[in-house]
Amino acid sequence: MDKKGMLYLCATPIGNLEDITLRVLRVLKEVDLIAAEDTRQTLKLLNHFQINKPLISYYEHNKSERGKYIVEQILQGKNVALVSDAGTPGISDPGEDLVRLCIERDITVSALPGPVAAITGLILSGMPTGRFCFEGFLSVNKRNRREHLEQIKNDPRTLIFYEAPHKLLNTLEDMYSILGNRKIALARELTKKFEEVIRCSLEEAINRFKQSMPKGEFVLIVEGADPRRLEKQKHQEWMNMSISDHIYLYTSQGIDEKEALKKVAKDRGISKREVYALNLKNKK
Ligand code: SAM
């Protein structure tokens, strides 16, 4: 008989305590141990719901040693619930490492879904929700932050970020300089009394927060790249190239010369004969 316990990933409210699910309350009452990212925060929640259970911390700086301990407890037959500071464990917190450890040791992991700040912000943003990309926190390091934004600047999907108030202005300025003046929704204090969603352009957001210090944690939802603008940009890049460089762009990808001439003609809106003639002239 398998005497192992289980790991339960319990989503908790991101502000409004009424958002806890009945299933999470039951499991928190039933497990042997609760592992929490922020024990003080979780204690408030447990006290509110009159749940009295052994509580240990599991966060970024102790996840390696604590993860092993939790797995050991589960292997000895204990059921453990993992809760995040707020929201769903495993999203922008070390929960994913514990899940991986449990899977490696053949421990059953069960997810009890509930609030996620990213999705709550997205559905309030008014931006397309059909395709979106969660980017989590951008780095505090300016170079890494800008590199991250460079990597995703052509992504047409709606982009979602987490951000702390003291870093917000720098982040908005980098977004503006790399992504251009896109639409943004800044969602703060979600599900709380002073919930606010500011929908504006990146430029307007920068001006606003230059005047007053932002308060609260934010979810930033940024419009994806406009495919028409990208097409225009690509066209401009082709037109700035010499004909031979443009042909080389394709031949260097393994495309044969005849096909490359055809593609270049199409990109530049001229005939194949013209491309051929211009290329010949360049070579002379
Ligand atoms: N695991 C959490 C989740 O499921 O959303 C996220 C944890 S992450 C460490 C914390 C970040 O989530 C905050 O910095 C903020 O960007 C976002 N966040 C959490 N609660 C929020 C709220 N009530 N309103 C706006 N953003 C929130």
The residue whose CB lies within 8 Å of the most ligand 1 atoms, and thus the one to mutate among 217, 220, 222, is 217
Nearest CA to 149 out of 31, 66, 141 is that of 141
Structure tokens, 117: 């700040």
How many angstroms separate the alpha carbon of residue 253 from the centre of ligand 1? 43
Q: What is the pLDDT, as a whole number, of residue 58?
A: 97
Helix and strand totals (H; E) in the chain? 12, 10
Residues with CB under 6 A from ligand 1: 14-15, 84-88, 91-93, 116-118, 162-164, 187-192, 217-219
Nearest CA to 166 out of 127, 134, 199, 209 is that of 209
* 248 part of a folded domain: yes
Question: Could you say which of 203, 224, 245 is where a domain stops?
Answer: 224
Q: Looking up tokens 């042997």, which residue turns up?
A: 32
Domain containing 249 equals 228-283
Tell me the mean pLDDT per 10 residues along the chain, length 284: 89 97 98 97 96 96 96 98 96 96 98 98 98 97 97 97 96 97 98 96 96 91 90 84 91 91 91 87 75
* 185 part of a folded domain: yes
How many angstroms separate the alpha carbon of residue 72 from the centre of ligand 1? 30
Question: Could you say which of 224, 239, 256 is where a domain stops?
Answer: 224
Q: What is the pLDDT, as a whole number, of residue 2?
A: 64
Co-location of 124 and 102 in the same domain = no
Structure tokens, 11: 């989503």
Indicate which CATH number applies to the domain containing 168. 3.30.950.10
How many angstroms separate the alpha carbon of residue 145 from the centre of ligand 1? 19
Nearest CA to 15 out of 59, 36, 45 is that of 45
User: Could you identify the atom of ligand 1 that is nearest to the CA of residue 162?
Assistant: 16
* 253 part of a folded domain: yes
Q: What is the pLDDT, as a whole number, of residue 1?
A: 52
Contact 46, 24 (CB under 8 A): no
Co-location of 85 and 145 in the same domain = no
Co-location of 268 and 201 in the same domain = no
Q: Which are the contacts of 161, defined by CB distance < 8 A and separation ≥ 6?
A: 135, 136, 137, 138, 171, 219, 220, 222
User: Could you identify the atom of ligand 1 that is nearest to the CA of residue 37?
Assistant: 9
Give the ranges where the chain is alpha helix by DSSP (H). 22-30, 39-48, 63-75, 95-104, 117-125, 142-152, 168-179, 202-211, 227-240, 243-251, 257-268, 272-283
Q: What is the pLDDT, as a whole number, of residue 211?
A: 92
How many angstroms separate the alpha carbon of residue 116 from the centre of ligand 1? 7
How many angstroms separate the alpha carbon of residue 74 from the centre of ligand 1? 28
